[in-house]
Amino acid sequence: MAGLAPAGSAGYTVGMGSAHLDAIVLALLRGRGADPRGLPLPQRLVHASLRRLERCGLVTRRDERRFRVTRAGEEALRVRLLEWRTTRRGA
């Protein structure tokens, strides 16, 4: 899976590195709330990831600095985690 979005979503295709980063950002936002400041990643990478995720409808902006993971984002993250677990077992 080259992208992060579940099947049937709006053409989310990026390189594997970006897809992994986007999944990490989704997981961190989901686990800590909606404010991306203070995530343990370089902010320029976080902001680039948030722009991609927002364009694809995986997060929505609550206000200037706060985001919410959408249902599509939750599903995309669930699929990515399942893929990682399956790949890890097969390695």
Over residues 27-73, the pLDDT tens digits come to 999 866 678 888 888 999 999 999 999 999 999 998 888 899 999 99
Tell whether the torsion through CA atoms of 79, 20, 73 and 31 is positive or negative.
positive
CA-to-CA distance for 26 and 84, rounded, in angstroms? 15
Is residue 58 helix, strand or coil? coil
What pLDDT, on a 0 to 100 scale, did the predictor assign at position 13?
A: 43
How far apart are the C-alpha atoms of 60 and 69, rounded to whole Å? Answer: 7
Q: For domain 16-90, is the CATH number 1.20.1260.10?
A: no
pLDDT at 91: 58
Range list of H helices, the chain: 16-32, 43-55, 71-90
81 vs 70: CA distance, rounded Å: 16
Locate the domains of the chain by residue range: 16-90
